[in-house]
Structure 1
Amino acid sequence: MFHDITLKELLKKQHSENHTIIDVRSPKEYNETTIPGSINIPVFTDEERAEVGTLYKQVGKKEAKERGLEIMSAKLPEFIAKFRQIDTPKTVFCWRGGMRSKTAATLVDLMGIDVNRLQGGVRAYRQWVVAELEKAEFPPDLVVLNGNTGTGKTKLLHQLADKGYPVIDLEGMAAHRGSIFGHIGLEPNIQKEFESQLIQVMHKFRNAPFVLMEGESKRIGKVTMPEFLFHKKEQSIQLFINLPMEQRIRNILDDYQPWNEPDKFIEAFDRIKKRIHTPIAKQINDDLKRGNYHHVIQLLLAYYYDPRYEHMAGKYPQDKTKALDAANMGDAAIQIESKLLEMYPREVKSV
Structure 2
Amino acid sequence: MLPRTLVKILRMIDPKPLVFVAALLAAVGLVAGYIEVHEQADRTLALRQGPPPKAALQNFNMLTHVGPADEVFVQAEADFSRATVLTLRGINPVERAVVVPLFGLSDRGEAQIHSREAGAGALTAQVARRTGVQEDVERPAIGLMFYPIDVGDTRVPDAAHLVDAVFGPGTRGTVVEINGLHVDPGDFTLMADGAFSVMGVELSADNLAVRPFAGERLAILGAAPSSETHRALFLTAMALVAISALVSIARGRLEEAEAEPAVEDDQGPEGPTAAHPKFAPLPSQREIIEAERARESEPAEPHWALIAARATLRGTLAVVQMLGAGLAAGIAGLARHFRSRLARREDEAL
TM-score by length of 1: 0.24
Of structures 1 and 2, the larger Rg is shown by 2
Higher relative contact order (CA 8 A, sep 6+): 2
TM-score with structure 2 length normalisation?
A: 0.24
